[in-house]
Homo-oligomer: A and B are copies of this chain.
Amino acid sequence: MCQAVQVAASVSTPDVCVLGLGLIGGSLLRAAVAAGRKAWGWNRSASTVDAARAEGFDADTDLSAVLRRAAESEALIVIAVPMPAVDATLAVIAEHAPGCPVTDVVSVKAEMAAAATRHGLRDRFVGGHPMAGTSESGWQAGDVDLFREAVWVVSADDGVDPQIWSQVAQLALDCGSLVVPAESAEHDAAVARISHLPHLLAEALALSGAAGGDLALGLAAGSFRDGTRVASSAPDLVRAMCEGNRDALLSTLDETLEVLNRARADLAKKGTLADLVEPGYQARLRYENRERWTITGIEPGSENWLERMRDAGRRGGVWRP
């Protein structure tokens, strides 16, 4: 069992029950087992379960049975199903394993927290979001090392149970990730800026290039290629991700439209782009030179621990494995 770091002195490492064995859930099951955790999974598709079993993993298509087993051992349940399936999954958890700690790996965190509340599971729920993925999907695409060195946000919202928070963070550390504590709303605002807005701008840039026809596309070089790269992502995945974070994305998009409108006015009236280009260059440098520092000395459950965690996350702090 390779568990070098503990997020809290007294953290327990419960069994892990993974619901959904696609790219993320399948990688998580592999990584948890590799870290010495007892773990099993559920998937609705028999062929996925067969594939997991053929590789020696403990998997089943019977959701009720899988959850009753989780209830018996007080396992940590990880929701790894697509967003549209989350509500139905929470309903079955509430029926068969209402006392288990629950987390998720399904992107937008405020929406997940609201869903947990709707099903009476808010006090057992601590959201999570590993910033890992590839353009592939499905169990076969999974990788035991997918989360290694990745950043994994663990929600530090008011009222969370420190014991469950520690269990979720410990699972992320066991998978080799760096844990970033953040409030759900702050997480959603941050990913709108660095993950969802880039997709919108890439789509808009691709449209501008194509509107220039074969002449423009034939002259395109590195700046266009890189600036439009993520426009080649599957449209339904891009839409699900961006539309699911609507409020935060609208706010970020409004900011950016204001920046571009100001630049437009400066260029038209004064012939200068200085107020866009100079700060934009500095912002990119800040990104290139960002540094992570290691959080220590905040014991979950101690006085003001949530505020201290959130503050550390805001300032670039991480828990390291």
Q: Count A interface residues, CB 8 Å.
A: 96
Check B283 against A210 for contact (C-beta < 8 Å). yes
Cα–Cα distance between A220 and B227 once the two chains are bound (Å): 15
Check B226 against A229 for contact (C-beta < 8 Å). yes
Check A257 against B255 for contact (C-beta < 8 Å). no
Check B276 against A203 for contact (C-beta < 8 Å). yes
Cα–Cα distance between A259 and B189 once the two chains are bound (Å): 22
Check B202 against A232 for contact (C-beta < 8 Å). no
Check A220 against B287 for contact (C-beta < 8 Å). yes
- Chain B: CB-nearest residue to A270: B243
Give the number of copies in the complex.
2
| Most chain B beta-carbon neighbours within 10 Å: one of A261, A280, A292 | A280
For residue A94, CB closer than 8 A to chain B, the reply is: no
Give the residues in chain B near A189, CB-CB below 8 Å. 212, 216
Check A232 against B285 for contact (C-beta < 8 Å). yes
Check A316 against B214 for contact (C-beta < 8 Å). yes
Give the residues in chain B near A195, CB-CB below 8 Å. 219-221, 223-224
Check B256 against A204 for contact (C-beta < 8 Å). yes
Check B280 against A218 for contact (C-beta < 8 Å). no
For residue A11, CB closer than 8 A to chain B, the reply is: no
> Which among A71-79, A111-119, A246-254, A294-302 touches the partner chain?
A246-254
Give the residues in chain B near A221, CB-CB below 8 Å. 131, 194-195
Cα–Cα distance between A61 and B201 once the two chains are bound (Å): 46
User: Quick one: which of B207, B246, B263, B290 contacts A279, CB cutoff 8 A?
Assistant: B207
Q: Shortest distance in angstroms between A90's beta carbon and chain B's nearest beta carbon?
A: 21
Known: A212-B193, A214-B316. A283 touches B200 (CB 8 A): no
> Which among A17-25, A162-170, A234-242 touches the partner chain?
A234-242
Check B253 against A260 for contact (C-beta < 8 Å). yes
User: Quick one: which of B194, B209, B278 contacts A283, CB cutoff 8 A?
Assistant: B209
| Most chain B beta-carbon neighbours within 10 Å: one of A255, A271, A273 | A273
Check B218 against A316 for contact (C-beta < 8 Å). yes
Check A193 against B214 for contact (C-beta < 8 Å). no
Check B227 against A287 for contact (C-beta < 8 Å). no
Cα–Cα distance between A232 and B277 once the two chains are bound (Å): 10
Check B277 against A218 for contact (C-beta < 8 Å). no
Known: A228-B284, A259-B204, A267-B243. A199 touches B223 (CB 8 A): yes
Give the residues in chain B near A194, CB-CB below 8 Å. 208-209, 212, 216-217, 219-221, 223-224
Cα–Cα distance between A237 and B228 once the two chains are bound (Å): 22
Cα–Cα distance between A274 and B239 once the two chains are bound (Å): 7
Known: A194-B216, A213-B314. A268 touches B250 (CB 8 A): yes
Interface residues of A (CB under 8 A from B): 131, 151, 153, 180, 182, 186-187, 189-191, 193-195, 197-235, 238-239, 242-243, 246, 249-250, 252-257, 259-261, 263-264, 267-268, 271-274, 276-288, 290, 292, 313-316, 318
In the assembled complex, 12 residue pairs joining A and B whose CB atoms fall closer than 8 Å, in A order, are A151-B219, A197-B205, A202-B227, A205-B256, A217-B286, A218-B316, A226-B229, A235-B277, A239-B274, A246-B268, A250-B264, A253-B267
